[in-house]
Amino acid sequence: MNKSIINVVALLVLLCVVQTVVSDDKIFGGEYADEGQFPFMVELAIDGAFICGGSLIGPYHVVTAAHCTGLVTTEALQIWAGSVDHSLDQGVFINVAAVYNHPDYNSDTLKNDIAVIKLKTPFPKATGVRTISLASILVNTGVEVTFAGWGKTKYDNYPYLLRYASAPVITTTKCRSYNDYGDVSGTSQICAFESGQDPCEQDSGGPMFTGTGAAATQHGVVSYGVGCGIKPEVYASISYYRSWILSKAVHTVSTTCNGCTTNTAWKNMCESMGGTHRKTSVSYQCQNLNPFKTRKINTSWIGCSDALLKNFCEKVGRYSCVGGNGKCTPL
């Protein structure tokens, strides 16, 4: 049997297993999103068939749920983004370089249901895809959070247009009071609930967040819920897993040049993104960039003809020439 077919069958089996215990998720209720409102939203796909949601946290990295990637090979998986409408040819598919499921992920209980995906290349600048910040502290009870996706709606269909809705965060005690939620963790999981407003099938792996656009902060990853819009949704907590995410979402940028002298602007750019700068006789290297700092880069330098700086910038951000000076701004 063709490997891609095996992957699809395996994933469908997994989703069916998940749904017998908890409901895999898509946006139930809510409204349609405007173009550019949530530019960090991505979808996971196998052979062009969308299976789960996710969020872009750095030029090369996506966060999603581990139950979305557990039975999928790296070669078969692609990440799609670039439009609110996936019925049109406006978005872009990017191939995957690596998938990191949390080492303690439990497919029976859906504990530690989080994964990091590394892309082979960043999304082209023209797509308008941007990154989202990751929360460093737990979101407070009562805060109204947003979730978005292309998943199942209350009309029992799967929309082509991105939808979003919101719900308040509830206490772990309140969450556990519902049947089937007795083992929800008070540290690594977050619950939110609003009757009739909920992620639903195929929204799994998508972000739970506050704010919009560049001001958005992700607090959770859609993990599971019983039914759609009738009981709380459980999310893997971003603040709890932040250190683990950071340990996986690193990458090396290397730019080769012949006979280079010290380039202070290049060095400063690397260090401003948390990277380690290294110069050899033939190359500049910037290793282990911090994905949470690459989205904050805003660096200018004199002149637009410095190919070394332009090359580096385009690997981590957007390059432009402003008033005769080179400039690098976030993806």
Annotated catalytic residue, options 24, 25, 55, 67: 67
Cα–Cα distance for residue pair 315/318, rounded to 1 Å? 8
Q: How many residues does the chain have?
A: 331
Cα–Cα distance for residue pair 274/244, rounded to 1 Å? 17
Taking Cα atoms as reference points, which of 44, 102, 93 lies closest to residue 73? 44
Distant-in-sequence, close-in-space partners of 151: CB < 8 Å, separation ≥ 6? 25, 26, 27, 28, 53, 158, 163, 199, 200, 201, 202, 203, 204, 206
Cα dihedral value 165, 56, 205, 9, nearest 10: 130
Annotated catalytic residue, options 204, 223, 237, 239: 204
Annotated catalytic residue, options 24, 113, 198, 203: 113
Taking Cα atoms as reference points, which of 285, 282, 269 lies closest to residue 326? 269
CB 166 within 8 A of CB 145: yes
Stretch (H or E) spanning 80 = strand 77-81
Stretch (H or E) spanning 54 = strand 49-58
Q: Is the dihedral of CA 117, 122, 124, 128 positive or negative?
A: positive
Distances (CA, A) of 230 to 168, 174, 237, 289: 14, 14, 21, 42
How much of the chain is helix, strand and coil, in % rounded to 5? 20, 35, 45
- Annotation marks residue 113 as catalytic: yes
- Annotation marks residue 203 as catalytic: no
- Annotation marks residue 198 as catalytic: no
Distant-in-sequence, close-in-space partners of 309: CB < 8 Å, separation ≥ 6? 263, 265, 266, 269, 301, 326, 328
Which positions are catalytic?
67, 113, 204
